Amino acid sequence: MEYISTMEVKILRFIKKHKVLTILLVFFSFYVFANYTRVVDYEKNTDTSNPHFMNELYKSDDRIYNDYLDPYEKNMYDLMLTGIRRHQTSINVDLAKMGCIDYEDCGSFVDAANTALYLDHPELMNYAGYAWSYRNNKFTLIIRYAYMLPFKDVIGILRTEKVVSDIKNATKDMTDKEKIIYVYNWMGANNYYDHIFMYTSKNQSIYNVFVKGNAVCAGFAKASQIIFSQIGIKSYLVLGTTGGEHMWNLVEYNGKYYYFDSTVSVGSDENSPYHYNGLRQEYMNSYNPHHKGWYPHIEETNMFEDI
C-alpha cells in the first residue's frame, strides 16, 4: 500500500483549489523551458582566456582591433570594453594617460574604438553606442545600453542560444546557398523594422532581434553575424552608408565575397519583387563601406544567378 506524504496532500489540494492558476503555471513552465532553459546544440565560445571575452555567444578574432587600430585607439577600445563589462554608464578619461593631444583627438580614438567594437563583437548584447562630453577640462565618455537591468544579459544569452540552435538544426543538411537564403528569410519572417523607436539604443542590439523580434539595421546585421558563425558561413560585419548610415554583412560563397543585407528582408514583403534585393549584389554595388580596405575584394555580380 502506498502512502501519500503531507506535502503531496498539500500540493493536490492546491491544484484542486487553484485549477486555473495551476494550468497557467504549467504553460509558463513549458514556455520558459522551450525558450530559455532546454539543452541545445550550440557551440559556445570557450576562449575565456581572451582579455576581450564577453560572453559565449560569439568567438571573436578581434580582427579590427589587431590589424587596424593604432596603440592609442587600442587603449580606448580596452577602456570602453572594461567599462561595458562593469556596466558603467560614464567613464572619466585621462587625456594624457590615453595619449590624447586634446579632447578632439581623444574623440577620434573613441570613434575608432566604437567602430571596432561594433565589428569585432556582435555578442555585446547590451552595448548600443556612446557619446562624450568635454567640460571644465574633463573628458567624459558616456556608454549607452540597450537596457539598464544587467540580468537581461542572462535572459538574452539563453534565448539567443535556443533560437540559433534551432536555426543550426534546421540548416544542418543544407548547402551554403540554402543556408544563406534561409537566414535571410528567417530574419524577415521573425522581425519587423522599428520605425517608431528607430533611434533608441535598444534597436542597435541583438537582444531585440532574438528576444523581441524588432530592431534596425545594426541589430539585424549583428544577429546575422552570430547565426552565420554557428552554421559554417564565413562573414563580416560592415559599417557604411547607403544614402544614410547603415550596417550590413559580407558573406563568402564559393570562395568569393558578396554583400548580404538582411534589413531589406525585414523591410519588404516576401512576395515583393524587391524582397531579395538584399541578396543581389547588383542592387548593393552603390553601398559605401566606411573602411573598404578592411575587407576582401567584393564581387560586383550577383551571388546567385537565380535570385
Q: Are 261 and 191 contained in the same domain? A: yes
Q: Are 159 and 270 contained in the same domain? A: yes
Residue 54, in any domain of the structure? no
Residue 22, in any domain of the structure? yes
Mean of all residue pLDDT scores within the chain: 87
Query: Residue 25 pLDDT more than 80?
Result: no
User: Which of 145, 152, 53 has its CA nearest to residue 90?
Assistant: 145
Q: Are 72 and 19 contained in the same domain? A: no
User: Which of 129, 154, 144 has its CA nearest to residue 207?
Assistant: 154
Q: How confident is the model at residue 194 (pLDDT cuts 50, 70, 90)?
A: confident
Query: Residue 195 pLDDT more than 60?
Result: yes
Q: For the chain, first and last CA: distance in Å?
A: 69
Q: Are 215 and 288 contained in the same domain? A: yes
State if pTM tops 0.75: yes
Q: Are 128 and 215 contained in the same domain? A: no
Residue 57, in any domain of the structure? no
Residue 306, in any domain of the structure? no
- Give the total number of structural domains in the chain: 3
Query: Residue 50 pLDDT more than 50?
Result: yes
* pLDDT tens digits, 197-211: 555 666 778 999 999
Task: Specify the CATH number for the domain of residue 237.
Answer: 3.10.620.30
Residue 179, Ramachandran bin (φ over 0: left; ψ between -120 and 50: alpha; else beta): alpha
Residue 106, in any domain of the structure? yes
* pLDDT tens digits, 223-279: 999 999 999 999 999 999 998 999 999 999 999 999 999 999 999 988 899 999 999
What domain range includes position 16? 6-37
Q: Are 86 and 189 contained in the same domain? A: no
Residue 199, in any domain of the structure? yes
Residue 12, Ramachandran bin (φ over 0: left; ψ between -120 and 50: alpha; else beta): alpha
pLDDT of residue 202: 65
Q: Are 208 and 166 contained in the same domain? A: yes
Query: Residue 32 pLDDT more than 50?
Result: no
Domain end, chosen from 145, 162, 188, is at: 145
Q: Are 140 and 157 contained in the same domain? A: no
Residue 44, in any domain of the structure? no
Q: Are 158 and 290 contained in the same domain? A: yes
Q: Are 170 and 259 contained in the same domain? A: yes
Q: How far is CA 271 from the centre of its chain?
A: 27
Domain end, chosen from 145, 163, 179, is at: 145
Q: Which residues contact 262 (CB under 8 A, 6 or more apart)?
A: 183, 184, 187, 188, 220, 221, 223, 224, 248, 249, 278
Query: Residue 7 pLDDT more than 80?
Result: no
Residue 206, in any domain of the structure? yes
Task: Specify the CATH number for the domain of residue 139.
Answer: 3.30.1370
Q: Are 159 and 117 contained in the same domain? A: no
Residues 42-61, mean pLDDT to the nearest whole number: 87
pLDDT of residue 247: 97
Domain end, chosen from 145, 162, 185, is at: 145
Q: Are 88 and 21 contained in the same domain? A: no
* pLDDT tens digits, 141-186: 999 998 888 888 899 999 999 999 999 999 999 999 999 999 999 9
